[in-house]
Structure 1
């Protein structure tokens, strides 16, 4: 087994410099054979019913079920102020963006506090106090969410595709047994700036964020030659991407140029709002609802079917000059 050989090589290499690796953990008992119990992270019995966890790279890993989980603590302050709200938000560590809709919900609340120009230790207005109290009481619900670490569920894919819904990335794989798997890989989101922008411009910024994110994902996964599909709800954004940047004002032209450098025009497609999982990133979701939202974790339903059933490719001639100026 390749993993066992790698383990043995690592032990030998470190031993030459006098180092002894410890805190070993695995979801396969064969990898732990020959390792003293004191050198293991937890006393993990893979055959038992226990679900012990290990913290790795800031995430909670359940080795037996091979799943990730995100741990949040209960309220840490009795008095709710802008300082405590910011502190409690910072405690949500989600590097892959798996709980991004929940985090966005909290960020929107923090942004409103800045608009009110409250001091750091000033009590929140009654309405916002009630909203944040409800939010942090429900926050423990995300502790129950379990995300598979292995996006292919330990099966062998025949072919693999990357689907980017604005700024949420999904891996779609067709297995050797003809089953189709769609899994959320990661997401990255930003709250709309306080400075007012038109909706088409905000959608264009989100498209650029998705293009930048997919470039990193391709490099990290070594998926340089895998098919990529870029989805957006904005037909105006699609028109801009399929146009010459020089015909627009600087703000739009600059972002169109970057998107065209990072992606191909033919990779971009239109999807309606109801089939767009990234819509959750725009408005945020209460923690109590995220666990039940299948589209966020497994993508829209059409991706689980044949490609002939997907939304039709974008037709640029349907966009009028009135739309372009929106």
Structure 2
């Protein structure tokens, strides 16, 4: 009796736990000789209990199928069309392989520091998100484990693929938020990966600059995942890809990319190379990016380099006033180091110190228009392709670009304050 109890499984929270191997498995009891109706499809799919979404690549196939059945306006007991019947019976038979899948129950967490790596992807039929834990032990060994996944079918109202990719990133932010809530006692570092450079470009903007659909979702995403945590991953290394397209059980069992994530997560040297060479390099001239930017906003992207202290400060602050005051105190400190005998002022910043810090930030933000700046400096006309040509810009005494239409200011400071936090600069179309 003792041997039987060790080899047998125990049902825990709807899953089957095998104490001897310490693994989890699934068991789906399907009826023999089923009728191929919408009612039967829903009945069979509901038997797959997968609270963590570990079977997402398989389950998403049935979600897509059920959406198709709904569009056909079939009654619950109507026979399915021949093509869908064949597909359903094939997938149903494949579910018999589910008990062969053995998932390790234990997710190692020996140290307080844990990395969460989230991946998102989308196809025309569905979008997905999956999260892995990564832990580097004291002896240098690395443990990677899948934590959870989610999928959603694409909405009936047709959307562009970049928008669906953005929905996948939004789904990832929700999934990471729920995982973070359960790991409050751990020191978490979050990395988010997407193979869509257009989405990464949208996330570099301030949400206020983007049209409603994209702007609302980027705002929600950035509340959970800061923009500096986003990285680009190639499609072949993106485990969320299979969850957006679908994968049968027999294929999923041995699909290591899904269960263990990309191989470079388990190699420290490869991981560091990937981390340093995975920033978004998408061109702002891409029409798919520009199509989601509000018409009254003109923006230039500034490439962020970790060597620039101003860029580091931008990644840590999103308040325009806080950025000005922080830089103001830094400039005061530098001045005092260079001139120790200078007269000490009060602890509060002076008007001139605030003005100097503001000018320094504006100069940094306008670095995205460096080519135009050099042409104006040499008294040469701007090219027809320049985004500033219609604003008749000139360079003022502080080496700032100004709008000839209203010389008092060329940059809307309130707009720039939000743009700075997005590592891009805004240029008012009205010059006010």
* Interval containing the TM-score (normalised by the shorter chain): 0.7 to 0.9
What is the aligned counterpart of 2:236 among 255, 259, 274? 274
Task: Count the aligned residue pairs.
Answer: 280
Cα 1:177–1:279, aligned 2, differ >3 Å: closer, same or farther?
same
Cα 1:319–1:223, aligned 2, differ >3 Å: closer, same or farther?
farther
Indicate whether 1:162 and 2:116 are aligned: yes
Q: Could you tell me how far apart the structure 2 residues matched to 1:104 and 1:272 are?
A: 22
Q: Could you tell me how far apart the structure 1 residues matched to 2:27 and 2:2 are?
A: 20
For structure 1, list consecutive stretches of 5 or more residues without a partner in the other structure: 1-42
What is the aligned counterpart of 1:323 among 266, 288, 295? 288
Residue 224 (structure 1) shift: 5.6
Residue 186 (structure 1) shift: 0.6
Q: Could you tell me how far apart the structure 2 residues matched to 1:123 and 1:315 are?
A: 49
Indicate whether 1:60 and 2:16 are aligned: yes
What is the aligned counterpart of 1:313 among 278, 282, 285? 278
Matches within 5 A, 1:159-308: 159-166=113-120, 167-222=129-184, 225-306=187-268, 307-308=271-272
Q: Could you tell me how far apart the structure 2 residues matched to 1:95 and 1:116 are?
A: 29
Cα 1:300–1:223, aligned 2, differ >3 Å: closer, same or farther?
farther
Report what 2:335 is aligned to: none
Q: Could you tell me how far apart the structure 2 residues matched to 1:149 and 1:84 are?
A: 32
Counterpart of 1:226 in 2: which secondary structure? Answer: strand
Q: Could you tell me how far apart the structure 1 residues matched to 2:59 and 2:32 are?
A: 17
TM-score scaled by length of structure 2: 0.62
For structure 2, list consecutive stretches of 5 or more residues without a partner in the other structure: 121-128, 293-432
TM-score scaled by length of structure 1: 0.81
User: Is contact 1:158-1:174 (8 Å) kept?
Assistant: no
Counterpart of 2:118 in 1: which secondary structure? Answer: strand
RMSD (CA atoms) = 2.0
Q: Could you tell me how far apart the structure 2 residues matched to 1:80 and 1:44 are?
A: 43
Higher RCO structure, 1 or 2 (CA under 8 Å, sep 6+): 1
Cα deviation 1:125-152 (Å, max 9, x = unaligned):
1111111111111102121111111112
Q: Could you tell me how far apart the structure 2 residues matched to 1:112 and 1:187 are?
A: 23
Report what 1:31 is aligned to: none
The 10-residue stretch of structure 1 (308-317 or 208-217) with the greater mean CA deviation from structure 2: 308-317
Cα 1:274–1:224, aligned 2, differ >3 Å: closer, same or farther?
same
Residue 160 (structure 1) shift: 2.3
Q: Could you tell me how far apart the structure 2 residues matched to 1:207 and 1:96 are?
A: 18
Counterpart of 1:202 in 2: which secondary structure? Answer: helix
Q: Could you tell me how far apart the structure 2 residues matched to 1:240 and 1:200 are?
A: 10
